[in-house]
Amino acid sequence: MTPAARIQAAIELLDAIIASARDGGPAADTLIARYFKERRYAGSRDRRAVRDHVYDAIRRAADRPDSGRAAMVGLARERPELAALFDASAHGPAPIAGEEPGAQAGTVPGWIAPLLASPVEQAVLLGRAPVDLRVNRLKGAMEDALPLLPDAKPVPGAPDALRLPEGAPVEKSDAWQRGLVEVQDAGSQLIAAACEARPGQTVIDLCAGAGGKTLALAAAMDGKGALIAADTIRTRLARLSPRAERAGAGFIQTLLLDRGHERRGLESLHGRADAVLVDAPCSGTGTWRRNPEARWRLTEARLDRLVREQARILDFAAPLLAPGGVLVYATCALTDREGRDQVDAFLRRHGGWSADMLSLPLGRAHGAGWLLTPGHDGTDGFYFARLRRPA
Ligand SMILES: C[S@@+](CC[C@H](N)C(=O)[O-])C[C@H]1O[C@@H](n2cnc3c(N)ncnc32)[C@H](O)[C@@H]1O
């Protein structure tokens, strides 16, 4: 592909990504993979260059641009070497007209900026994210993993975490293939650790998805006890089984819940759990480094729906705890509505429950819980709290 053709490809991809963000379709990464599957003539350097253009344009625009061309024109206005490629060559884009509008530059959509927790450093929410790994103690120790991953560095404050530079091809490594390491942000590791899961306990991961945190809980339990991974989406839970097998965590049970009727599906577990993790569906504002186009999907109406759903999930999670048990509520969101205020509202609704005072090497206290941010901690952004049922 010529450099100009790469710009045109980025414009086409951005058109698809913008439409998908508007209509709730697939993520940018999925669309990029599909695009190149149908265009085998593109070599690896072409793919990398197009992908970089696409993500540079996404990172630069806080609000969903009108078109892929507007997104790229906005980027090109700041980068003359890209503007020169709008040259009307055979597969390249038409020249930029003098008055042609480009997408506005910005980090955070204007409507959400006032809703973010006040210590959040907004300017770095769109930085590049490293690849964090968790050493899987079911398969070995930090000393076993380090020689296999010479570029990896331990992450201070997260005892099982290793960090590699952005884009490192971990899944090709021997350590990953034999289940000795899992890809997991150091902040997610601290959330799983906050559950204080122990061998022999009954632990429920209520919003398990594909089981990232379930696998960390499995390691903390040393493969002993009852660990139940529940979710309402079958395809997500299905992705957990091969991961659990690779990680040596075959004792995990999965439970598919019927959305709207979760209480019924969970009734047999009422009063039995030592720990329940609610890693709730959320705005994902803390993971914009990894999914920058998520800013283009979020609306105020969607945020309202998420806040209502988080409260509903917390309310059907609470009866699962045995007396004295802990409910860890977590989101990868940085709005107070989904974090601090959600936890306060839970404590008001559930008399006798209390929030444990946390004191961790990374992050800072915020309300009754704990805040991690990319700017302060170098992790993805999270809010979490450990809530205790009265004994
Ligand atoms: C933030 S994701 C979980 C990520 C996962 N814990 C991990 O560490 O990889 C939230 C999950 O909540 C699930 N979910 C949404 N509504 C739910 C409900 N009512 N009950 C249980 N799970 C739900 C979603 O399907 C999604 O997989």
Query: Which residue owns the Cα nearest ligand 1 atom 3?
Result: 209
Q: What is the pLDDT of residue 15?
A: 98
The preferred substitution site among 182, 231, 285, 316 for testing ligand 1, maximizing ligand atoms within 8 Å of CB, is 231
Q: Is 206 in the pocket of ligand 1 (CB under 6 A)?
A: yes
Asked if 301 and 374 sit in the same domain, the reply is yes
> Between the CA of residue 268 and those of 122, 273, 311, what are the distances in Å?
44, 11, 22
Q: Is 281 in the pocket of ligand 1 (CB under 6 A)?
A: yes
Asked if 278 and 349 sit in the same domain, the reply is yes
pLDDT tens digit string along 163-210? 999 888 899 999 999 999 999 999 999 999 999 999 999 999 999 999
Percent of the chain with pLDDT strictly greater than 70:
100
Asked if 327 and 218 sit in the same domain, the reply is yes
- The ipTM (two decimal places) reads 0.99
As a whole number of angstroms, the distance between CA 69 and CA 93 comes to 9
The catalytic residues are 332
Residue 90 covered by a domain: no
Asked if 246 and 314 sit in the same domain, the reply is yes
Asked if 156 and 219 sit in the same domain, the reply is no
Query: Which residue owns the Cα nearest ligand 1 atom 18?
Result: 232
Q: Is 231 annotated as a binding residue?
A: yes
Asked if 192 and 286 sit in the same domain, the reply is yes
Residue 78 covered by a domain: yes
The CATH number that applies at residue 373 is: 3.40.50.150
Asked if 249 and 326 sit in the same domain, the reply is yes
Question: What one-letter code names the amino acid at 34?
Answer: R
Query: Which residue owns the Cα nearest ligand 1 atom 13?
Result: 207
Q: Is 336 annotated as a binding residue?
A: no
The CATH number that applies at residue 161 is: 3.30.70.1170
Q: How many domains does the chain have?
A: 3
As a whole number of angstroms, the distance between CA 206 and CA 204 comes to 6
Asked if 155 and 228 sit in the same domain, the reply is no
Q: Is 144 annotated as a binding residue?
A: no
Residue-number span of the structural domain to which 178 is assigned: 131-183
Asked if 145 and 288 sit in the same domain, the reply is no
Task: Give the atom of ligand 1 at the shortest distance from the alpha carbon of 280.
Answer: 10
As a whole number of angstroms, the distance between CA 65 and CA 103 comes to 6
What integer is the mean pLDDT of 90-112? Answer: 94
Q: pTM, whole model, 2 decimals?
A: 0.94
What integer is the mean pLDDT of 289-315? Answer: 97
